[in-house]
Structure 1
């Protein structure tokens, strides 16, 4: 005979009554605390509700005002997310301080040819942004173009031929056809802080001046990247936060059948969303694309805690038609407050472990989210008891009538609503079938987890900005135009460092830089090479003593030493604080998702370093720019993600061991909690899908959420086991009582963030889908894997032992 909740209750109805599970006197005796009278308890709950309401009245305006202020600070600069004390970040900062050109906007359009008047006109149109006004600072530090550099190189003192000049500029400022060129605008610090506005103005000014529609003006470079990410991140919050809240509220009402309880949960969740953004402002960091997923995450975690507490209250109300609402509330709080705090603690640990990640936004995300979870749970514990009393008084008659009808027809009295009862019986029957073969089920889940785990070593991360947008997005279209008409767009830098006492002759230094430049130009997948070599003719051989060689060398020497020469104006030679002379060589890689930039960059390093080492005299290279900063960020993200997850797993496992009073039991209980994370992240590795900044935080978050359901389930399971039930019966009873809260929290917490999946911004979209998948997998783990574990021989490690009870059997 199939073992279900109905068959169990028909044999042990008295033993399994919900009232015995929520015995306030027994709880009070256990803690040696006298129970308050119902009148005193009601007064306490009303006082708490008033305190909570006061807190809401104080926090709501702060959340509304300061969340908007936080969003106004939106600024995305992945290169600055690494800690300042990391060598790669320090090199980048030093480079940015000495050289110009890190925040250069490239502007192009069809028809921007060498010799065309429109190129100079477009550059002139941008000059108003170089000058400060009474109401704003200068937004641009300077404006140039391929035409201007072309004119400089074809004029004295260099006087290159037009053909030679086109060859020197090809791939950086001039296209492969030798005609297509671009305009360059270097952003000031003020311009960077207002880059969305400046970018829009620049497009409009150029469009109006040359008569080309704005949608045919193409832009690329860090200012464009940052402005578009800022706009999309802001848009994701503006467009999807309210619909997500509405969807969550509707599902919550449908599940709880109470507008009052739903209203409290949603109000607290929304305030938690706002305050999480406000905390970004208070912490002094800028809003960015990583932190925009704070609001949906806080909403999810708050709703989960509220629904679990409300289901404890519904259990108490449905258990006794004559129960006083205050007594039901007290029973709910006594039964639910410990599991809820334990679940919140594990979630906070999971989020707090992100503080180990060295990327500043990720660590800030972990700490702020952890604090938000703590704060929203406190608010729920203040407000929900009073709301439960008010709800109970209004629906007391309805509950009595429904319970009486259920008893007359001998149907499941918990829950009363028919649709909930049908869902409960359906999945209890489904779980019971699985529990007939617990060893097979556990083995199946083990195999699935092991196969997925094989993909974890192949897991990669990406902080590449164009990849954050769909194929048909404006940024991808613009980058494709530059790749086709000009050359590669992903920049990197080699800085050749000459100590003061090495190669005193500047001509010799130039020869060495020329050799590196020539080598890079001949390297596969490298383009857009630009250095002092682009401004100067090739120096003569040291052995040459002709008059022409002497004149040429003198000309080169003059340009190298003249502070007003075109080379010096271009800013490709600088002196650092130690007196070292630094020669900059810029180069670029194509934007192609199939290219492994780390491998290609390492290949460039392996080819450049021997050239400089052979020169001796302490000459050394420094590698910086977009590519090394991006690859280092990705490495740090993946390494620290693994460390933070291990830390969270270790701490949560210790907590489980202490709760179960068993080392082995704690490890067994962690299996269902690891299943969601390993399965999804391992599958991403097998499919070669990189983790982006939207999904990277979900590993530790998922662990905390998964443990939430496990703790509630094990609490009920152990309660039933202490009544003498066999493990299979106790598992079904626990599933019957925890099941509604588990699938309701999954419905609210998985579907409401899914609204963000409609965003075109890939990190936001990926976060929504990852949360949906992880929560769904966590539900499967708690509903199928955990009961199977309990029914299997491993279940004995999770079953409480009492002096009067022999170890429970599986039958």
Structure 2
């Protein structure tokens, strides 16, 4: 086996450059489009794509700063500096002052107060003075959003004379670039500390510098190979894939701890030559079941319609198979090499290495659980049911605060802009005229104006803009003069129809239909549920439509799209993904365990204690913090997959005790003696490694790390208390009967 061990290490070393190259390319491919965090199967997603195809709405960045008012000279300097810089990512810059001057000049001729009211909460703030610049981008901006923001900030500071701390930015590109930066920062800053913490926690089981180095080298190889899979698979990194490397390491190291536990248990009896082979013979099945169920739990996320979550499910589950192969092929050889070194120095123990204190401790734990097993089971069920009563309160959430913590720059910028300039979340209300040639264009314009006016009257703080803002206002009186004026005005805009369609982003055609766009903005940080905000707009438009003459109502329909309706639809979709992924992972893991343990009763029994952490932790979440973001949604399936590991190893030792003729209660104590330390250690390894990510600036990754750690801690309690109580009662006797 030593020859095979050296060969495995040589092959791993030879592949390392290729793996490192793939990992490097994967890290530089970070592209976390904010829209990708919504379900690809949503009707609102398809409506948004339809809208983009017809109105060709370019991406833009809203820019403002402390003291940016209509008479701030820095506004013009900033716009002129950007436009003279000839940046490939820049289309044009529009400022609030420019639009105001256009609306008050001929041919529009608005009064200044009227024009300011028209632009309030869109380009001009609630105070009527604070304004902004809208930087309209080209498609080239998507290639490197972080570089675009760096250059934009440099222009604002160097040419515009704007203090960097007082500059506030918002927009789709800003969110995407910030997610990318936060994801990369998560990998760069937290990977090494979490890996070192994992090794420190695992050290009492490794107890050998050489073995620790070999385990670290193999785990690092698996980590880099997992990232390389993303590159060679033709995908790009995203925020959730940033937690995949540490997940690979903790699963490998925890699996190594269990395999080393089998090895150290056999070492005093079989000697250095046979112990590694015995560890593989005894441990391959529980290790395969443990890591295999983890892969199934993670792989169930591939059913999600949220693109980053689906990619995580695919690549992280494939990485688990790589971890399993490395664990069973490379680690036994590493044990052989390490054992030779220890044997040469007389460090091979002659007695089982459980120790007196751990034995007494686990004896003290096992005896009361076995004796009062009925009370433990009843108490456990009561706690689970009480906590799970909070499950119906859970709901999906895709707010800004679900992606960025309140102390981040982007969150503070959003807050400042919404308070001083206006709401940021867009809703696109598209009025579709099915037969525009059957009535005058002026009448169609008036319908759009009436709907826009109704939207402005909603109780929500809104800003709106439509084609009506950029056309002269005809008279509304019934005098002959005004009637003639409206007729002439209608002819004028009819003659300019094609020009308006090609030059404006507020009018388009589709076949024989005419599409008029009302751009609406609503607040993202007001605390209003997105579903309620969209419903308020829809109800307002519905009431305004009902007030029109019946013949006019039949001539048009309304389509609601934009980021806000998309996010509103994404909330229930997250819960559907949670139910589907967890349900499928539960079934797949149960079937796998039943097949691996050769008993459907044992397969079901193994799943029962692992429902406790999911129901309890998520139930408590429902009472404390019911909002679930994509990172939180992922944890149920992953937590289940990892939590099953300790159950498998406990049942393995329990069945070995039964096979040796022990009674169920004695077999429970035997299982505690042999794998109690390993179960606690592996939970600490996984929990500590993932909990480090709780300080990530990318909120879904932070919640993922913390929540999985809590799930693993709860799962350990279930395996150490609930499962032994079940096995000490009638179910244990049933299992003993199965063995006979």
Q: CA RMSD in A?
A: 2.4
**1:637 Cα deviation after fit:** 2.0
Q: Which residue of 2 aligns with 1:571?
A: 505
The answer on 1:246 being equivalent to 2:196 is yes
Name the residue aligned to 2:482: 548
Secondary structure of 2:169's match? Answer: strand
Aligned to 1:64: 20
For residues 438 and 209 of structure 2, the distance between their equivalents in structure 1, rounded to whole angstroms, comes to 80
Distance 1:343 1:515, change over 3 A: same
Between the aligned partners of 2:61 and 2:347, the Cα distance in structure 1 is 71
Q: Distance in 2 between matches of 1:80 and 1:659?
A: 38
SS in structure 2 at match of 1:585: strand
Q: 1:358 to 1:198 in 2, by over 3 A?
A: same
* Bigger helix fraction: 2
What residue is the counterpart of 1:115 in the other structure? 71
TM score, norm. by length of structure 2: 0.94
> SS at the partner of 2:478?
coil
C-alpha distance in structure 2 between counterparts of 1:401 and 1:667, whole Å = 40
**In structure 1, distance between residues paired with 2:10 and 2:599:** 43
**SS of equivalent to 1:248:** helix
Q: Distance in 1 between matches of 2:84 and 2:367?
A: 75
Find the partner of 1:316 among 257, 266, 284.
Answer: 266
Structure 1 residue 46 displacement after superposition:
3.0
**How far did 1:207 drift?**
2.0
From 523, 530, 544, the equivalent of 1:590 is 523
Of the three residues 525, 538, 553, the one matched with 1:616 is 553
User: Structure 1 CA distance, aligned partners of 2:540 and 2:198?
Assistant: 56
1:720 aligns with 2:657: yes
Q: 1:327 & 1:292 partners in 2: Cα distance?
A: 40
Q: CA deviation at 1:162?
A: 0.6
1:633-673 CA-partner distances (Å, limit 9, x unpaired): 23222201211110111122223334555545433331111
SS at match of 1:324: helix
Structure-1 separation of matches of 2:710 and 2:310: 24
Shift of residue 782, structure 1, vs aligned partner: 1.0
**Selected match of 2:103 from 153, 156, 167:** 153
The answer to whether residue 352 in structure 2 is matched with residue 414 in structure 1 is yes
CA distance in 2 between partners of 1:275 and 1:671 (Å): 34
1:215 to 157, 165, 185: 165
Secondary structure of the residue that 1:288 maps to in structure 2? Answer: coil
Which digits, 9 at most, give the CA deviation of each residue in 1:245-291, with x for residues without a partner?
A: 11112222233212233223222222222222222222323221122
Does the 8 Å CA contact 2:55/2:508 hold for their aligned counterparts? yes
CA contact (8 A) 2:643 2:712 kept: yes
Q: For 1:415-494, what aligned pairs fall within 5 Å after superposition?
A: 415=353, 418=355, 421-494=356-429
Partner of 2:154: 204
Cα deviation, residue 498, structure 1: 1.6
| Conserved 8 A contact 1:306-1:380 | yes
Aligned twin of 1:274: 224
Report the CA distance between 1:387 and its aligned residue: 1.4
CA 389–84 in structure 1, closer or farther in 2 if over 3 Å, else same: closer
Tell me the SS of whatever aligns to 1:185. strand
* CA–CA distance in structure 2, aligned partners of residues 447 and 556 of structure 1: 73
Q: CA deviation at 1:594?
A: 2.4
Contact in 2 for aligned 1:170/1:528 (Cα 8 Å): yes
Partner of 1:338: 285
Contact 1:669 1:798 in 2 (8 A): no
Mapped to 1, the partners of 2:703 and 2:109 lie a distance apart of 54
Q: Which residue of 2 aligns with 1:783?
A: 720
Structure 1 residues 789 and 103 mapped into 2: Cα distance closer, same or farther (>3 Å)?
A: same
| TM-aligned CA deviation for residue 555 of structure 1 | 3.4
2:210 to 243, 257, 260: 260
Contact 2:194 2:689 in 1 (8 A): yes
**Structure 2 CA distance for aligned equivalents of residues 503 and 564 of structure 1:** 17
* Structure 2 residue 562 is the aligned partner of structure 1 residue 628: no
Match of residue 492 from structure 2: 558
The aligned residue for residue 373 of structure 1 is: 320
Could you tell me how far apart the structure 2 residues matched to 1:269 and 1:402 are? 27
CA distances 1:139-187 after superposition (whole Å, capped 9, x unpaired): 0222111111111111111111111100100111011121111000112
Secondary structure in structure 1 of the residue aligned to 2:521:
strand
Which of 731, 737, 750 aligns to 2:674? It is: 737
Do 1:560 and 1:568's aligned partners in 2 also have CA atoms closer than 8 Å?
Answer: no
Summarize the alignment of residues 484-523 of structure 1 with structure 2, pairs less than 5 Å apart: 484-500=419-435, 503-523=438-458
Displacement of 1:126 after TM fit? Answer: 1.4
**Cα displacement (A) at 1:80:** 3.2
Instruction: Decide whether the 8 Å contact of 2:400 with 2:411 is kept in 1.
Output: no
SS in 2 for 1:697: helix
Give the stretch that moved more between structures: 421-430 or 435-444.
Answer: 421-430
Query: 2:96 matched to 1:163?
Result: no
Deviation at 1:85, TM superposition (A): 5.6
Structure 1 equivalent of residue 576 of structure 2: 639
Is 1:185 the counterpart of 2:135? The answer is: yes
1:796 is displaced (CA, Å) by: 3.0
The aligned residue for residue 90 of structure 1 is 46
Cα offset for 1:298?
Answer: 1.3
Deviation at 1:564, TM superposition (A): 8.9
Gaps (5+ residues) in structure 2?
none
Long gaps (5+) in structure 1: 1-44, 133-137, 404-412, 804-811
Q: Give the conservation status (yes or no) of the 8 Å contact 2:40–2:307.
A: no
Aligned CA distance change for structure 1 residues 583 and 148 (closer, same or farther; 3 Å): same
Cα distance in structure 1, aligned partners of 2:336 and 2:662: 33
> Aligned-pair distance for 1:118?
2.1
Moved more, 258-267 or 202-211: 258-267
Q: Post-superposition shift, 1:699? A: 0.9
- Supply the distance in 1 between the matched residues of 2:419 and 2:486 (Cα, whole angstroms): 36
CA contact (8 A) 2:694 2:706 kept: yes
**How many Å separate the matches in 2 of 1:557 and 1:184?**
33
User: 1:283-362 alignment to 2 at 5 Å?
Assistant: 283-318=233-268, 320=269, 323-362=270-309
Rounded to whole Å, the distance in 2 between the matches of 1:567 and 1:472 is 43
Offset, 1:545: 4.8
**Hey, what does 1:230 align to over in structure 2?**
180
Q: 1:641 to 1:304 in 2, by over 3 A?
A: same
Quickly say closer, same or farther: Cα 1:798–1:148, change in 2 above 3 A.
farther
- Partner in structure 1 of residue 534 of structure 2: 601
State the Cα distance separating 1:107 from its structure 2 match. Answer: 0.6
Aligned CA distance change for structure 1 residues 603 and 751 (closer, same or farther; 3 Å)? same
Q: When the two structures are superposed, what TM-score results if normalisation uses the length of structure 1?
A: 0.86
Secondary structure in structure 1 of the residue aligned to 2:559: strand
Range that drifts further, 155-164 or 79-88: 79-88
**CA 1:310–1:661 in 2, change beyond 3 Å: closer, same or farther?**
closer
Cα offset for 1:558? 2.7
8 A Cα contact 1:265 1:380, kept in partner:
no
Question: Judging changes above 3 Å, is the alpha-carbon distance between structure 1 residues 777 and 459 closer, same or farther for their aligned structure 2 residues?
Answer: same
For residues 162 and 126 of structure 1, do their structure 2 counterparts lie closer, same or farther at Cα, with a shift above 3 Å needed? same
